[in-house]
Structure 1
């Protein structure tokens, strides 16, 4: 089961990384287009090579239309896509100054409570994201420039949020089992025996 959950979390992170990489390339192209468009509209280029400037502008050199809408939707998905891997590898930021002085049993209890809280929050986020998606689907809201249905971005994020909720619930069950049995089931480098 753990290898399945880890594989699922890694696949989601890879998809999130791919989307984020595409968004970075899209942003770089858009910024370059915006700079070139400004350059071709400048008095300098209009004076030196007016025909070339007009030709480049007519080719459509400029920013990508709706780039910020795509980045907004894609980054939301990427954030949710990275959560399962962060959850299953105990990759969340933690401050262990005080916890290091506690016994192993107290630390296992704290880990169990933390994982349960994470699971509850991830399930709540998925539920509310589902509600938001249904609301956007029902009212037919579209993005301003590209006019794509906003619910598409919600649906993509919802898939990743559901995977995060499943992985979070799985980890809460594992940490609860570890607390009550006293045996570590999944070694993640956080707790040393």
Structure 2
């Protein structure tokens, strides 16, 4: 019951982060379009580089949790056939837990960096956007990705299955 409620809540947050990433992608596309058209007429958009850089941070990290939930991260399974299903399952759990630790580390490191940015009033070079808001956003998305990976590891352990967790395979 609690696991289901928690999983649903995290899934909704992941969907929200993906939607925010989509909005950010549309926004940065419009910024670049306005900048390119402006350059053609000799008046580029002031701060387009700052806006693009900060928005790309949102785009990348907003979609990371969804990518994990869909199994979209790179998985190299060269030795998968050499191991039993049980061993492969535990390797999947290990990979998910490792990813959760890595993204928790990213979230914590960026959160600490945000404290410095806030204290020193750091901002972007051209138009002076405060960096702290983007760092907080990145930390939140990284923490969400970490939580999603942790829940997937728990789900992998608790879900009875005879085979591997389904991964999307690309045929070469």
Among candidates 113, 131, 154, match of residue 132 of structure 1? 113
Structure 1 pair 154–137 and aligned structure 2 pair: CA distance change class (3 A): same
Contact 1:89 1:188 (8 Å CA) reproduced: no
1:35 matches 2:12:
no
Tell me if the contact between 2:156 and 2:165 (Cα under 8 Å) persists in the aligned partners: no
Kept in 2, the 8 Å contact 1:12–1:81? The answer is yes
Of 103-112 and 148-157, the range deviating more from structure 2: 148-157
Q: Which residue of 1 aligns with 2:70?
A: 89
Deviations 1:117-176 (A, max 9, x none): 001101111000100111100111122221121112112212212211221221222223
The answer to whether 1:173 aligns with 2:154 is: yes
Whole-Å Cα distance in 2 between the matches of residues 170 and 144 of structure 1? Answer: 39
Structure 1: segments with no counterpart, 5+ residues:
38-61
Q: Partners of 1:82 and 1:5 in 2: how far apart?
A: 14
In structure 2, the residue matched to 1:7 is 12
Q: How many residues are aligned here? A: 161
Query: TM-score, normalised on structure 1?
Result: 0.76
Q: Is the 8 A contact 1:115 1:175 kept in 2?
A: no
* TM-score normalised by length of structure 2: 0.85
Aligned counterpart, 1:22: 27
Say whether the 8 Å CA contact 1:10–1:85 is kept in structure 2: yes
- Higher mean displacement: 160-169 or 23-32: 160-169
Query: Does 2:166 match 1:189?
Result: yes
Stretches (4+) displaced over 6 A: none
Mapped pair 1:148 → 2:125: no
1:78, CA displacement in angstroms? 1.4
Give the superposition deviation at 1:188: 6.3
Deviation string 1:1-26 (CA, Å, 9 cap, x unpaired) is: 33332222122111101101110111
Q: Give the RMSD, CA atoms, in angstroms.
A: 1.9
